Amino acid sequence: MNATETAPCADVAPEYGHESENYLHQHTIKSWLLTTDHKRIGILYLLSIIFFFAIAAFAAAIMRLELLTPAGDLVHSDTYNKLFTIHGVLMVWFFLIPSIPAVLGNFVIPMMIGARDVAFPKLNLLSWYLFMMGGACALYSILVGGVDTGWTFYTPYSSTYSNSHVVSMAAGIFIAGFGSILTGLNFIVTVHTMRAPGLTWFRLPLFIWSLYATSLILVLATPILAITLGLMAVERLWGIGIFNPHVGGDPVLFQHLFWFYSHPAVYIMILPGMGVVSEVITCFSRKQMFGYAYVAFASLAIAFIGFLVWGHHMFVAGQSVYAGLFFSLLSFLVAIPSGIKVFNWTATLYKGSISFETPMLYSLAFIGLFSLGGLTGLFLATLSVDVHLTDTYFIVAHFHYIMVGGMVTGFMAGLHYWWPKISGRMYPEKAGQLAALVTFIGFNLTFFPQFVLGYLGMPRRYHAYPPEFQIYNVLSTAGASVLGVGYLLPVIYLIWSLKHGKIAERNPWKATGLEWKTSSPPPVHNFEETPVVGEGPYNYPRLDHEDLEHA
Partner 1 sequence: MPEVRPALAEQFDSLEQQHEAATLGIWTFLATEVLFFGGLFTAYVVYRFLYPQAFAEASHHTNLLYGTVNTAVLLTSSLTMALAVQAAQEGRNRALVRCLAATIVLGIGFLLVKGLEYREHFAHHLVPGAQFALTAKPKTELFFWLYFTMTGLHGIHVLAGIGVLSVLAFMSSRLNFSSEYYTPVEMGGLYWHFVDIVWVFLYPLLYLINRHL
What's the min distance (Å) between Cβ of 112 and partner 1? 15
Question: 67-106 mask for partner 1 (x: CB under 8 A)?
Answer: ----------------------------------------
Q: Give least dist CB 218 to partner 1, A.
A: 9
Three-state DSSP string of 486-539:
HHHHHHHHHHHHHHHCCECCCCCCCCCCHHHHCCCCCECCCCCCCCCCCCCCCC
261/257 Cα distance (integer angstroms): 7
Q: Tell me the helix, strand and coil percentages in the chain, rounded to 5.
A: 70, 0, 30
User: Cα–Cα distances in Å, from 345 out to 65, 276, 356, 404, 508?
Assistant: 38, 12, 15, 20, 22
Q: Of 1 and 143, which has the nearer Cβ to partner 1?
A: 1
Contact between residue 105 and residue 205 where contact means Cβ atoms under 8 Å apart = no
x/- mask, partner 1, residues 187-206, rule CB under 8 A, reads -xxx-xxx------------
**Neighbouring residues of 81: CB distance < 8 A, sequence distance ≥ 6:** 148, 150, 461
| One of 34, 54, 144, 240 touching partner 1 (CB under 8 A) | 240
Which residue, 194 or 474, is less far from partner 1 as judged by CB?
Answer: 194
The answer to whether 313 touches 151, Cβ cutoff 8 Å, is: no
Distance CA(268)–CA(521), nearest Å, equals 28
* Rounded CA separation 512/510 (Å): 7
Site track for partner 1 across 44-73, x = CB under 8 A: ------------------------------
Query: Is 250 near partner 1 (CB under 8 A)?
Result: yes
Of 260, 176, 276, 255, residue with least CA distance to 217: 260
Residue 252 — φ and ψ, nearest 5°? Answer: -70, -25
**Binder of partner 1 out of 41, 63, 92, 119 (CB under 8 A):** 119
The CA distance from 376 to 356, in Å, is 28
Q: Residues 486-525: x/- map of binding to partner 1 (CB under 8 A)?
A: ---------------------------------------x
Q: Residues 247, 351, 529, 550: which binds partner 1 (CB under 8 A)?
A: 247
Q: How many residues bind partner 1 (CB under 8 A)?
A: 48
Q: Least distance to partner 1 from the beta carbon of 97, Å?
A: 16
5 is an interface residue for partner 1 by CB under 8 A: yes
For the CB of residue 418, give the shortest distance to partner 1 in the complex, in Å: 21
**Which chain residues interact with partner 1 by CB under 8 A?**
1, 5-6, 9-10, 12-14, 16, 115-121, 181, 185, 188-190, 192-194, 219-224, 226-228, 231, 234, 238-242, 247-250, 253, 257, 525, 530
